[in-house]
């Protein structure tokens, strides 16, 4: 039980810029030399505890551990775990700590991974907590941006859709503010604007330039990256509001007519309606590549969190 030196990833700010750079370097190396990493985690077990739905995050974590030679166990919905019988998260975590070497968990409650980390004797990776954070999606995004653009500095980034509940947005902003000359265009209906705490505590505090608008077309020509997001249905209090806002932005070929030739169109996925499928054939569409990159950066992260542990 070596709790003192357990390395968790709860918030993207848990990682220094140097550590992020190193993770990107390792992920790039894995992409080039997959076979060299095939036994790095022999004998290790990853537990994926998903109390909320997921395709990419859970499967890419599992794929990452399997590709490192390790094994995986876990559950993909709260209903199939003892949570359904009333077990607390703390008790579940305490138990799983004894069954695995590292845990990736997703939970609908903001802050749940902090509770988990207090109980756990093995590293906890936050794979999404409510409408709060999603640091491993951000690592995937940073790897993708650095591979496509060759830099993480000097970028005008359009973030579009549900900026209020979109945890991928919150983590991505929290990561990008550390790089030089980053400007955000925050594109959303007024009901789904970026939360005040993100504006004050993250953007203003870091003196980051940003524009809030509901007009995607107006700023299209300025963007280096357009990061689309789904309206987060599961976080709405009423169906009516969701129905009214869900198709507010639908990116199509026509709306891209003024965009830069090297625009990078990203989306954490799943997509509902916010990007027309006709955009998929556009060379600037990067979202599936982004999903593939998720495996390699998670491999790098698992290696980092398990470093030096018996």
Q: Which is nearer to ligand NCD, 123 or 161 (CB)?
A: 161
- First-to-final CA distance of the chain: 10
- Taking the complex as a whole, the smallest distance from the CB of residue 131 to ligand NCD amounts, in Å, to 9
* Residue 14: both structure tokens together: 């848990």
Q: Helices then strands (H, E): number in the chain?
A: 10, 9
Q: Which is nearer to ligand NCD, 269 or 279 (CB)?
A: 269
Bridge partners of residue 155, in order along the sequence:
182
Q: Which is nearer to ligand NCD, 134 or 148 (CB)?
A: 134
- Taking the complex as a whole, the smallest distance from the CB of residue 310 to ligand NCD amounts, in Å, to 31
> Per residue, what are the HEC states of 214-229?
CCHHHHHHHCCEEEEC
Q: Which is nearer to ligand NCD, 153 or 270 (CB)?
A: 270
Q: Which is nearer to ligand NCD, 76 or 229 (CB)?
A: 229
Calculate the alpha carbon distances from 308 to 2, 6, 69 in Å: 11, 10, 17
What three-state secondary structure class fits 78?
Answer: helix
Edge-to-edge strand list for the sheet holding 45-50: 71-75, 45-50, 102-107, 124-129
- Taking the complex as a whole, the smallest distance from the CB of residue 304 to ligand NCD amounts, in Å, to 20
Binding site for ligand NCD (CB under 6 A): 56-57, 128, 134, 137, 167-168, 229-230, 268-270
- Asked if residues 127 and 134 have their Cβ atoms less than 8 Å apart, the reply is yes
Among 170, 176, 171, CA closest to 151: 176
Q: Which is nearer to ligand NCD, 45 or 269 (CB)?
A: 269
- Taking the complex as a whole, the smallest distance from the CB of residue 60 to ligand NCD amounts, in Å, to 9
- Taking the complex as a whole, the smallest distance from the CB of residue 162 to ligand NCD amounts, in Å, to 8
- Taking the complex as a whole, the smallest distance from the CB of residue 12 to ligand NCD amounts, in Å, to 13
């Amino acid at each position: 039980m070596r709790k003192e030196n357990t390395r968790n990833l709860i918030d993207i700010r848990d990682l220094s810029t140097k550590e992020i750079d190193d993770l990107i370097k390792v992920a790039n190396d894995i992409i080039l030399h997959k076979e060299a990493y095939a036994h790095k985690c022999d004998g290790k077990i990853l537990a994926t505890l998903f109390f909320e739905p997921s395709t990419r995050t859970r499967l890419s974590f599992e794929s990452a551990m399997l590709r490192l030679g390790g094994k995986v166990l876990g559950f993909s919905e709260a209903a199939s775990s003892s949570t359904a019988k009333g077990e607390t998260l703390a008790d579940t975590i305490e138990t799983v700590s004894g069954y695995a070497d590292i845990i990736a968990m997703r939970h609908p409650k903001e802050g749940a991974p902090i509770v988990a980390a207090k109980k756990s004797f093995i590293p906890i990776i936050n794979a999404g907590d409510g409408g709060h954070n999603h640091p491993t999606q951000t690592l995937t995004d940073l790897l993708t941006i650095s591979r496509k653009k060759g830099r993480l500095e000097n970028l005008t980034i359009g973030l579009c859709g549900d900026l209020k509940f979109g945890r991928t947005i919150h983590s991505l902003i929290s990561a990008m503010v550390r790089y030089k000359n980053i400007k955000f265009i925050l594109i959303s209906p007024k009901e789904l604007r970026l939360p005040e705490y993100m504006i004050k505590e993250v953007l203003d505090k870091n003196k980051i330039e940003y524009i809030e608008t509901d007009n995607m077309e107006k700023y299209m020509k300025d963007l280096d990256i357009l990061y689309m997001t789904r309206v987060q249905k599961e976080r709405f209090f009423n169906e009516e509001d969701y129905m009214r806002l869900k198709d507010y932005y639908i990116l199509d070929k026509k709306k891209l007519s003024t965009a830069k030739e090297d625009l990078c169109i990203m989306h954490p996925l799943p997509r509902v309606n916010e990007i027309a499928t006709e955009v998929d054939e556009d060379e600037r569409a990067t979202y599936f590549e982004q999903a593939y990159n998720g495996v390699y950066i998670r491999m790098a992260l698992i290696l980092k969190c398990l470093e030096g542990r018996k």
